[in-house]
Structure 1
Amino acid sequence: MTPIDYAIFIAYLIGTLAIGFVFFSRNKTSSDMFAAGGHSPWWVSGLSGFMTLKSAGTFVVWGGLAYQMGVVAIAIVTCIGLSGLLVGRFVAGYWRRLGISTPAEFIEFRFGPSAVQFYTWSMMAIRTLSSGVALYAVAVMLVTLIPLPEGNPLRDPVTGNLSLTVAIIAFAAIIIVYTVSGGLWAVLMTDILQFVVLQLAVLFIIPLLFFALKDAPQVTLPTGFFVPFSEQYTLWFLAGWVLVHFFVIGAEWAFAQRFLCVPTERDARWAAYLFGGLYLISPTIWLMPSLMYRMIDPSANPEQAYILASQFVLPTGMLGLMMAALFSATASAISGQINVFAGVFSEQFYRRLFAPAATDKQMVWAGRVSMFLLGLLLLGVALAVPLMGGAQQIVLTLTGLLLGPLLAPTVFGLVSKRIGLRDVFITAGTSFAVGVFLKFGLKAFGGPFMPAAEWVRLNPRMVDVLVGAVLPTIILSLAHFTRKSTSAGWAETQRRYDTYTPSQASTAGEGSAATTVTWISLGATGLVVLSLIFINSTDQVALAIFGLILMALSIAIWARARKTRPLAA
Structure 2
Amino acid sequence: MRSFDYYTLILYILGVLAIALVSAKRNSNQKDMFAAGRQAPWWASGLSGFMTMFSAGTFVVWGGIAYKLGIVAILINMCYGIAALLAGYFVAGKWNQLGVTTPAEYINLRFGKIGLHFYTWTMLLKKMLAVAVSLYALAIVLVALIPLDEGNFFRNAATGNLSLTWAVIFFGLIVIMYTMIGGLWAVLMTDVVQFIILTLVVFLVAVLMIDKVDNFDELVTTLPETFFSPTSGDYGWFFLFGWVTINFFIIGAEWAFVQRFLAVKSPSDAKKSTYLFGIMYLVTPILWLLPPLIYRGVNPNANPEQAYIMAAQSVLPVGVLGLMFAAMFSATASMVSSQLNVFAGVLTNDFYRPLMNPNASGRVLVRVGRIFTAILGLVLIMGALLVPIMGGAEKVVISINSLMVVPLLAPALWGMFSRKIGIKEMCIVTLTSFAIGAFLRFGLSIQSKDIDVLVGVLLPILMLIIFQRFSKNKVDKGWNAIEELRISSIEDLKAGEVARAFDTFPGKVVIVSLVICAIGLFFLTYMSNSGRMIITILGIGLLLISLLIHLGMRKMILKDKKL
Alignment TM-score, normalising by the size of structure 1: 0.93
Aligned residue for 2:98? 98
Match for residue 533 of structure 2 among 538, 541, 549: 541
Alpha carbons 2:421, 2:467 under 8 Å: kept: yes
Matched with 1:453 is: none
Q: Is the 8 A contact 2:130 2:398 kept in 1?
A: no
1:165 matched to 2:174: no
Residue in structure 2 matched with residue 504 of structure 1 by the alignment: 497
Q: CA deviation at 1:71?
A: 1.6
Alpha-carbon offset, residue 138 of structure 1: 2.2
Residue 85 of structure 1: aligned partner: 85
Does structure 2 conserve the Cα–Cα contact (< 8 Å) formed by 1:111 and 1:420? Answer: yes
For the residues of structure 2 that align with 1:395 and 1:71, how far apart are their CA atoms? 30
Query: How far has the Cα of 1:68 moved from its partner?
Result: 2.3
- Residue type matched to 2:260 in 1? R
Q: Residues 84 and 246 of structure 1 are in contact (CA less than 8 Å); yes or no, is this contact kept in structure 2?
A: yes
Tell me how far apart the structure 1 counterparts of residues 194 and 296 of structure 2 sit (CA, whole Å): 27
Cα contact 1:108–1:115 (8 A) shared by 2: yes
Q: 1:508 to 1:427 in 2, by over 3 A?
A: farther
In the alignment, structure 1 residue 521 sits paired with structure 2 residue 509: no
Q: Deviations over 1:223-257 (max 9, x none)?
A: 52222212311100000010001110110111111
Matched residue, 2:456 = 468
Range that drifts further, 388-397 or 262-271: 388-397
Deviates more, 1:191-200 or 1:249-258: 191-200
Task: Give the structure 2 partner of residue 258 of structure 1.
Answer: 260
Q: CA 1:395–1:307 in 2, change beyond 3 Å: closer, same or farther?
A: farther
Kindly provide the amino acid, as one letter, of the partner of residue 528 in structure 2.
Answer: N
Provide the secondary structure at the position in 2 that maps to 1:228: coil
Aligned equivalents of 2:4 and 2:456: distance in 1?
46
| Residue aligned with 1:26, SS | coil
Aligned CA distance change for structure 1 residues 88 and 141 (closer, same or farther; 3 Å)? same
More divergent stretch after superposition (82-91 vs 300-309):
300-309
8 Å CA contact 2:41–2:264 kept in 1: the answer is yes
Paired residue type of 1:105 = E
Among 223, 226, 248, which residue is 2:228 paired with? 226
Q: Secondary structure at the match of 2:100?
A: coil
Give the Å deviation of 1:23: 1.1
1:161 Cα offset (Å): 2.2
Which AA in structure 2 matches 1:339?
N
The one-letter code of the counterpart of 2:478 is: G
Is the contact between residue 194 and residue 331 of structure 2 (CA under 8 Å) also seen in structure 1?
A: yes
**For 1:388 and 1:61, how far apart are their aligned partners in 2?**
20
5+ long unaligned stretches in structure 2: none
Whether the 8 Å CA contact 2:209–2:315 is kept in 1: the answer is yes
**2:310 maps to 1:308:** yes
1:530 maps to 2:532: no
Match of 1:491 in 2: 480
Q: Do the aligned partners of residues 35 and 354 (structure 1) sit closer, same or farther apart at CA in structure 2, a change above 3 Å counting? A: same
2:551 paired with 1:551: no
Which residue number in structure 2 is paired with residue 452 of structure 1? none
Tell me, in whole angstroms, the C-alpha distance in 1 between the residues paired with 2:84 and 2:363: 36
Q: Match of 1:450? A: none
| Superposed displacement of residue 198, structure 1 | 0.8
**Which residue does 1:190 correspond to in 2?**
190
Report the 3-state secondary structure (helix = DSSP H, G, I; strand = E; otherwise coil) of the residue aligned with 1:66.
helix
* Contact 1:27–1:183 (8 Å) recurs in 2: yes
Q: Give deviations 1:101-157, integer Å, cap 9, x for gaps.
A: 110110001000111111111111111122112212322222121223444332333
The corresponding residue for 1:446 is none
Deviations 1:503-525 (A, max 9, x none): 53655444x21111111111110
1:480 to 445, 449, 468: 468
After superposition, the Cα gap between the structure-2 partners of 1:438 and 1:395, relative to the gap in structure 1 and judged at 3 Å, is closer
Q: 1 CA distance for matches of 2:270 and 2:215?
A: 48
Partners of 2:378 and 2:174 in 1: CA distance: 12
Specify the code of the residue in structure 2 equivalent to 1:200: L
Q: Which residue of 1 aligns with 2:129?
A: 129
Deviations 1:23-46 (A, max 9, x none): 112111000000011111211111
> For the structure 1 residues 72 and 384, does the alpha-carbon distance in structure 2 shift closer, same or farther, using more than 3 Å as the test?
farther
Q: Counterpart in 1 of 2:177?
A: 177
| Partner Cα separation in structure 2 for residue 390 and residue 69 of structure 1 | 26
Partner secondary structure for residue 125 of structure 2: helix
Distance 1:186 1:42, change over 3 A: same
Contact 1:179-1:186 at 8 Å conserved across structures = yes
**Is contact 1:315–1:539 with CA below 8 Å preserved after alignment?**
yes
What secondary structure sits across from 2:301 in the alignment? coil
1:236 paired residue number: 238
Name the SS of the counterpart of 2:68 in structure 1.
Answer: helix
Give 2:36's aligned residue: 36
Q: What is the CA–CA distance in structure 2 between the aligned matches of 1:24 and 1:284, rounded to whole Å? A: 37
Report how far residue 468 of structure 1 moved: 2.0
CA distance in 2, matches of 1:221, 1:136: 32
- The DSSP-based 3-state class of the residue aligned with 1:414 is coil
For residues 315-372 of structure 1, the C-alpha deviation after alignment (integer angstroms, 9 at most, x for no partner) is 1111111211221121111101100000010112211222122111111111000000
Report the CA distance shift for 1:368/1:57 in structure 2 as closer, same or farther (over 3 A). Answer: same
Shift of residue 375, structure 1, vs aligned partner = 0.5
For the 8 Å contact 2:502–2:556, the answer to whether it is kept is no
Match for residue 427 of structure 1 among 426, 429, 433: 429
Count of aligned pairs between the two proteins = 554
User: 317, 320, 341: which one pairs with 1:318?
Assistant: 320
C-alpha separation in 1, matches of 2:63 and 2:102: 33
Q: How far apart, in 2, do the equivalents of 1:568 and 1:520 lie? A: 23
Q: Contact conserved, 1:213 with 1:295, CA < 8 A, in 2?
A: no
CA distance in 1, matches of 2:123, 2:81: 23
**Secondary structure, counterpart of 2:317 in structure 1:** coil
Name the CA distance, whole Å, in 2 between partners of 1:64 and 1:390.
Answer: 21
CA-atom RMSD in angstroms: 2.2
Contact 1:99–1:496 under 8 Å retained in 2: yes
Equivalents in 2 of 1:140, 1:558: separation in Å?
40
The 3-state SS of whatever aligns with 2:4 is helix
Read off the aligned partner of 2:375 and give its amino acid letter: L
Residue in structure 1 matched with residue 357 of structure 2 by the alignment: 355
CA distance in 2, matches of 1:462, 1:384: 32
* In 2: Cα distance, 1:185 partner to 1:390 partner: 38
Structure 2 CA distance for aligned equivalents of residues 429 and 505 of structure 1: 47
Q: Which residue in the other structure is 1:448 paired with?
A: none
**Is the 2:66–2:293 contact (alpha carbons within 8 Å) kept by the matching residues of 1?**
yes
Structure 1 letter corresponding to 2:187 = V
Residue pair 2:291, 2:308 contacting (<8 A) in 1 also: yes
Matched AA of 1:363: L
- Change in Cα spacing, 1:158 to 1:220, as seen in structure 2 (3 Å) is farther
- Could you say which residue in structure 1 is the equivalent of 2:560? 568
- Secondary structure, in 3 states, of the residue corresponding to 2:298? coil
User: Given residue 110 of structure 1, which amino acid in structure 2 is its aligned partner?
Assistant: R
Residue type at the aligned position of 2:465: S
5 Å-filtered alignment, 1:266-281, equals 266-281=268-283
Shift in CA distance, 486/34, structure 1 to aligned 2, threshold 3 Å: same
CA contact (8 A) 1:229 1:235 kept: yes
